[in-house]
Structure 1
Amino acid sequence: MMKALLILLLSIVSIIRADVQSINALKISPMGSVNGGLIIDGTDYRINFLGRSEVQGTTRRFDWPGIQIRLRISNTSFLDVLLQSAGFYEIIVDNQPINSIQMNSQDFTRIASNLDPNTWHNIEIYKKNEAELTSVRPYISLYILIPQVATLKSVRIADQGKFGRFISSKRRIEFVGDSITCGYGVIPPSVPCSGNGPNGAWESAFDNYVRMTATDLAADVTRVSWSGRGMVQNCCGLPPPVMPTLYNQTLGTDAKSKWNFKSWVPQAVVINLGTNDHNGNPAPSLDTFAAGYTQFIKDLRARYANVTVFTLCGGMVEGAFCDAVSKVSSANGAHYVNIPALTSNQMGCDGHPNTYGNRVMADLLVDLISKKMRWPILSRVGSHGPIEFIDRPMNDLPNGLISASSPADCQNRCFARSDCQVWAFDTCGTRCWLKSAASTGVPSICRASAPSLLAQEL
């Protein structure tokens, strides 16, 4: 009798424990119907979150640019999010950008509507601003930058809606940089923009070289970047911290938040720092700069054992500092990309690259990453239209065989000639064929081609 009673008591305890675990699970990931919608909290596993963030209760806090909130949904015609943030976000539905909005509501914001409920949809919410440009308030003649942290609280779809799994890429790249990597100045209201005060509407992490690189290589990317920061010294008298210090943080605005480097391990890291060191007040010595750069590469390899490091310099700065980056890269097994000086039509706000300037940067970087990582380029949109990795034989122009550095360079050369209707490029070499007419595309190794955008417009 006592044995039976003991077994009964143990069974009751097990049931209570199971119920408590179920309740705790619901607290971690609640799902309910509120105001006619199905809601999950901001930390739910069905939300694919790309980028550094801090979990606080059932919410997720973040501030770095380029953060992506990704969902896969069906059986619903809409998607709402409760996202407390003053920043700008690009909304992408099934790989198509549909809207750019500024989040400033304390209630749900409708992100997507008129969705076909009978099919699955991939939705991406892409953070376009760095923390310091999410809120800019004019005060007399000054502009006060107010760093802000965004908080994802919950997501809502229709009552009968379903959440699926958003598939992440197996290719992972991390970017470390300054305002160029943030996307500052990509969308200028006018040129020059100086004197109008910094504005989050001018900055777009979605329209810059980082996102272009991710698209071309079908890779997942994260970025740790902040305007004005340098490798060993910040720009223009800006006080510390410098980027290697900020790099250790989960939130750029919180020095106490420490990032867990094991939580997301990239195969490649791209460093784009040096412009602000060059513009320091005063600039550091080249030896100091090189020593700091070398140490940062060593620290990266200590955190990510098998990482491949790529470095960029140029565009807004030339000369000794870029030479130093090149030498440090060579000495430490990193792969260097020199960015040509920006031309007038490649500049946005305050001398920063616009979308065209960013496209030039992305083309150079994508080609190098593709070769060194042995990642085929799965898709590409050049400065003058799509690039397809097939051949288009015949119809060569007289003297139409020239040399080019990349598919994008070959495309640019075709676009510059009114008699060029189609181009083809040897991706295993430097040959570029300019053609007078289109032919049927055929699969071929070592080839990229496309009709000229100019020809399509005509």
Structure 2
Amino acid sequence: MKLKMLIILTVSIFLGKKVHANIDTLLAAQLKPLGRSLINGSNKLELISSAVHFGYKFRGESCTIYASLKDEWEHNYIQYEIDGKYQKRIRINGNSKAPIVIKTDGIGQHTVWIYKATEAHTGPIIIDKIIAEKISAISARKAPLIEFIGNSITCGAASDPSEYPCGTGEYHDQHNAYMAYGPRVSRRLAVNYIMSSVSGIGIYRTWNREGPSMPEVYENIDFKKDTDLKWDFKKYAPKIVSIALGTNDLSTGDGKTPRKPFDADTFVTRYVDFIKFIKSRYPLTKIALLSSPMVKGAQRKLLEESLLRIKKRIDSMYPAEDEVSTFFFQEMEPHGCGGHPSVEDHLILAQQLYPFYRKLLNSRRTR
């Protein structure tokens, strides 16, 4: 009996050492994120922009992610997919020291993609390391890239009240960047994407203030005006830069801050200057201008006419390059929070956009 127990104990110790030997650590600096991010002074990865994402593969039934926030009173969200299937959002509390454990349905090899569910202004999510059996980082597939520049609609803000009903929690509690129209249409097109979007922002003013506008913050890594750290535009070369701005320029404001009427000439001039800047950073990109599904009536007509004016100006400035493309959304009655599209509405927007982007991706020079 003693010999039998000794054998069992010896085997257990051996197996324990074997399992432990197979557990690997994937450090933040080894990850290959797609989107705006940085490796900070502590060699940790800061996820900044909406839907910035990274992937890894491992073996076993679970993996453990060590993530944190800069301040203990903050909270934020990641979301993830396993083996190509979307799972859910996970809340990260700044005062929590517990790691995130993601469980799978089997002991074989699995692929996980982690996405930031919220936008840059919500603050960074900091990744320290990921622990799992035979874990290794993976890169995004080799495919064309679309950059989506926009406002809260592009962010997927206020789209998902499944955990926090509209009117409860904080603004970013209903963010779902993974289900926004840009990532959804990109997955259908089998292309890569990055998101450069800020809630409330416009081309020359915000929804309730005179600024800062997108051109004022676009060069800054976190889209904040007081940030010294600039974004490295050499990091990516988008095939298409899709811009959806104008909803907030046309806004009548919050009823508290004095607001001048919409100035179409200023809108057009600032938009043209912004496109010129983008072309200076991405000389070979195709520019796509999107209207807004939330703007209706006379404002809708004014926005569409302004976009056509912008297209005409840019096309005349760059006669040897691809023409600017325009896409005008169908009007939509949104079902999300605060007049925003819901995750179901974003699917409709993505379906509308699919043939437009597919044509742009497949077309050669237009002139």
Task: Give the TM-score taking structure 1 as reference length.
Answer: 0.65
Which residue number in structure 2 is paired with residue 215 of structure 1? 187
Answer yes or no: is 1:362 the counterpart of 2:350. Answer: yes
Which residue number in structure 1 is paired with residue 256 of structure 2? none
Structure number with bigger Rg? 1
Equivalences for 1:368-387 in 2 at 5 Å? 368-374=356-362
Which residue, 302, 316, 323 being the options, matches 1:320? 302
Most deviating of 219-228 and 359-368: 359-368
Which residue, 330, 341, 345 being the options, matches 1:340? 330
Which residue, 220, 236, 250 being the options, matches 2:208? 236
Task: State the one-letter code of the partner of 1:337.
Answer: F
Q: Flag the 1:291–1:189 CA change in 2: closer, same or farther, 3 A.
A: same
Contact 1:91-1:111 within 8 A present in 2 as well: no
Contact 2:244-2:292 within 8 A present in 1 as well: no
Which residue number in structure 2 is paired with residue 116 of structure 1? 107
Task: State the one-letter code of the partner of 1:116.
Answer: I
d(CA) in 2 for partners of 1:188, 1:322: 31
Contact 1:181-1:209 within 8 A present in 2 as well: yes
Runs of 5+ in structure 2 lacking a partner? 1-18, 70-74, 254-258, 315-322
Which residue number in structure 2 is paired with residue 305 of structure 1? 283
Equivalences for 1:358-437 in 2 at 5 Å? 358-374=346-362
String of CA shifts for 1:292-343, please: whole Å, max 9, x gaps. 1111111111100100011111211112123202331244221111012213
Deviation for aligned residue 1:355: 2.3
Deviation for aligned residue 1:171: 1.3
d(CA) in 2 for partners of 1:110, 1:71: 14
Contact 2:56-2:138 within 8 A present in 1 as well: yes
Q: Flag the 1:190–1:156 CA change in 2: closer, same or farther, 3 A.
A: closer
Answer yes or no: is 1:154 the counterpart of 2:139. Answer: no
Which residue number in structure 2 is paired with residue 82 of structure 1? 66
d(CA) in 1 for partners of 2:313, 2:249: 20
Runs of 5+ in structure 1 lacking a partner? 1-32, 135-147, 376-458
Contact 2:120-2:222 within 8 A present in 1 as well: no
Task: Give the TM-score taking structure 2 as reference length.
Answer: 0.80
Contact 2:39-2:45 within 8 A present in 1 as well: yes
Contact 1:54-1:251 within 8 A present in 2 as well: no
Deviation for aligned residue 1:124: 0.7
SS of the equivalent of 1:48 reads coil
Task: State the one-letter code of the partner of 1:168.
Answer: R
Which residue number in structure 2 is paired with residue 173 of structure 1? 146
Deviation for aligned residue 1:114: 4.2
Which residue, 225, 230, 253 being the options, matches 2:197? 225
Contact 1:72-1:166 within 8 A present in 2 as well: no
Structure 1 moving runs of 4+ over 4 Å: 33-36, 189-192, 195-198
Deviation for aligned residue 1:184: 1.3
Which residue number in structure 2 is paired with residue 421 of structure 1? none
Which residue number in structure 2 is paired with residue 247 of structure 1? 218
d(CA) in 1 for partners of 2:302, 2:219: 28
Task: State the one-letter code of the partner of 1:42.
Answer: A
Which residue number in structure 2 is paired with residue 68 of structure 1? 53
Count of residues paired in the alignment: 318
Task: State the one-letter code of the partner of 1:48.
Answer: K
Contact 1:186-1:202 within 8 A present in 2 as well: yes
d(CA) in 2 for partners of 1:164, 1:233: 40
Deviation for aligned residue 1:283: 4.0
Q: Flag the 1:191–1:109 CA change in 2: closer, same or farther, 3 A.
A: closer
String of CA shifts for 1:336-365, please: whole Å, max 9, x gaps. 11012213xx42111111123212221222
Which residue number in structure 1 is paired with residue 249 of structure 2? 277
d(CA) in 2 for partners of 1:197, 1:278: 28
Identity of aligned residues (%): 24
Contact 1:277-1:284 within 8 A present in 2 as well: yes
Task: State the one-letter code of the partner of 1:91.
Answer: Y
Q: Flag the 1:34–1:325 CA change in 2: closer, same or farther, 3 A.
A: farther
Answer yes or no: is 1:127 the counterpart of 2:116. Answer: yes
Indicate the RMSD between aligned Cα atoms, in angstroms: 2.5
Q: Flag the 1:198–1:107 CA change in 2: closer, same or farther, 3 A.
A: closer
